[in-house]
Amino acid sequence: MKRTTLLETVTLPSSSPLVSIRFLFNTGTIHDPEGKEGVAALTAAMLSEGGSRPMSYDEIVRAMYPMATSFSSQVDKEMTVFFGTTHVDNLKGYYRIVSEMLLDPGWREEDFTRLRENAINYLKINLRGSNEEELGKEALYNFVYEGHPYAHPSVGTVESLERMTLEDVRRFYRENYSVARLVVGLAGGYPDGFVSEV
C-alpha cells in the first residue's frame, strides 16, 4: 500500500484486470445543517444518481452498460464514499464519466425531485412500513444521541426533505466537497501513471 502526497491517495496495485476506485469525503450527516437533515445524503445521491452537466443520468447509465459497471455512493455520519469497479480496458472512459459526475454535477431539477421523492418514500414506506429492524436502530440512535447530529437518520426526515431545495444541495456541495476533505483509493491493475491523472 502506498500513499501519494499531492492528493491524499491510497493505492493497492495488483495484477487483477479489474480496477476499484473510491472517493472518500470526510463529510457526512453530522454536517447536515439544523432543519436540513438529509442534505448530505441527497447531495451524494445527486452526484452518483443525478448525472453531470455534460451527460444526463440516463446517458451515463447507457454509457456504463457496455462497460458492465456502475457508480454508487454511501453516506454515513462522518463520511461519504463514492465507489465503482471497472475493467482496466474501460478505466479511462469510466474515470472521465465519474470525474465529471463529481466535479461538474448536472444539478437538474428533475433529478432532484426524483431523488428527494425516493428518500421520502424510503422513510414513509420502507423504514416505517416494512423494515422494523432499521426502524428500531433509528429509534435507538434518536434516543441515545438526542440533541446531537448523530440522532437523525442519514437519509433525513420527511419534514426536512419536503422543505429541501436544490439550492440547499448545491450549497452543501460547495461548503463540504473539497480536496482538503478527500481521500482517493485505487486498487487493482490500473496502468502506471494513472494515479497522477486522478
| pLDDT 10s digits, 135-184 | 677 777 777 778 877 878 889 999 999 999 999 999 999 999 999 999 99
- Nearest alpha carbon to residue 122 among 78, 163, 79, 157: 157
The 8-class DSSP code of residue 111 comes to H
Looking at the chain, which runs of residues are DSSP E strands? 2-4, 9-13, 18-25, 72-75, 80-87, 182-188
Q: Collapsing DSSP states into helix, strand and coil, what is residue 34?
A: coil
| pLDDT 10s digits, 6-54 | 689 999 999 999 999 999 999 999 999 999 999 999 999 999 999 999 9
| Confidence check: pLDDT of 1 > 70 | no
Domains of the chain, earliest start first:
2-197 (3.30.830.10)
CA atoms within 13 A on the CB side of 23: 20
Q: What is the pTM of this model?
A: 0.90
